[in-house]
Structure 1
C-alpha cells in the first residue's frame, strides 16, 4: 500500500519543533514545502495517478531522502 510520508510522522519526536521552525525559519519552511511537494509527487506516481518512468520516480525518492536528511540535521541542531 502506498502512503505519504509527512515529516511529523517521520519525526514524531520533533512535531512541535517542526511547526515552530516552519513559522520562524524561512529556509526551513522552504525545505519543508519542497519535501512535501516531492512526497506528494511520489505518492501520485506510486498510486498510478500520474504516470512516470522508473528513473523519474527514483530521482524523486533520492531528492526526498536528501531533503529529509537536511531537515533532520536542522531539527537536531536547533
Structure 2
C-alpha cells in the first residue's frame, strides 16, 4: 500500500527527487520515511485544491514536525 501511495503522489507532482539516493530525505531504504516525505509533499502542494492526506489509510495529519537532519518537511497548508 505504501508503494501505491508513493507512486500516486510522485505521478501527481510531489517532490520525489528529495528521496532519491543522495537526496536529503533518502531514508537509507526506510520506506516509511520516504513515504512520509512524499505524501507530505503531495499534500502541501495540493491542499489548497482540496487534496487530502489519507492515501487509503497510509498517511495521516500530525502536529509534530517529522523533519530530521537535512530532511525538512514543508508545512503550513491547512
Normalising by structure 2, we get a TM-score of 0.35
Higher share of residues assigned helix: 1
Name the structure, 1 or 2, with higher relative contact order (CA <8 Å, separation 6+).
1
Normalising by structure 1, we get a TM-score of 0.35
Structure with higher Rg: it is: 1
